[in-house]
Structures are given as structure tokens and as C-alpha cells.
Amino acid sequence: MVCWEEYMKKKFVIGILIVIVLFLIFGFKDIKDGFEDGFNAAIKTEHLN
């Protein structure tokens, strides 16, 4: 039973790490896209002025 508990703990930790990595990858992509959109909007505003 101890081995089974250790195995489940490892699976649980690995699962959390995968979720964190995916969150960081997609979160970073969304932030980057948002930054580019804001940058483009700022450039358009400059041209209008």
C-alpha cells in the first residue's frame, strides 16, 4: 500500500506540473498577443494624431 500511495503522489505531482506548464505556455501566448494588440493600437493612435 505504501508503494501505491507513493505512486499516486508522483502521478498527482506530475499532473500538477503538466497543468502549470500548460498554463504558463498558453498564459504567456495570450499575454504576448495582448501586448502586440496594445502595441498596434498605440501605433494606430499615434498615426491618427
Distance CA(1)–CA(18), nearest Å, equals 26
pLDDT (0 to 100) of residue 14: 94
Amino acid at residue number 18: I
Percent of the chain with pLDDT over 90: 22
* d(C-alpha 41, C-alpha 22), whole Å: 28
Please give the pLDDT value at position 1.
59
| Structure confidence by residue, pLDDT tens digits, 5-26 | 888 899 999 999 999 998 888 8
Locate the domains of the chain by residue range: 23-49
Cα–Cα distance measured from residue 8 to residue 29, given in angstroms and rounded to the nearest whole number = 31
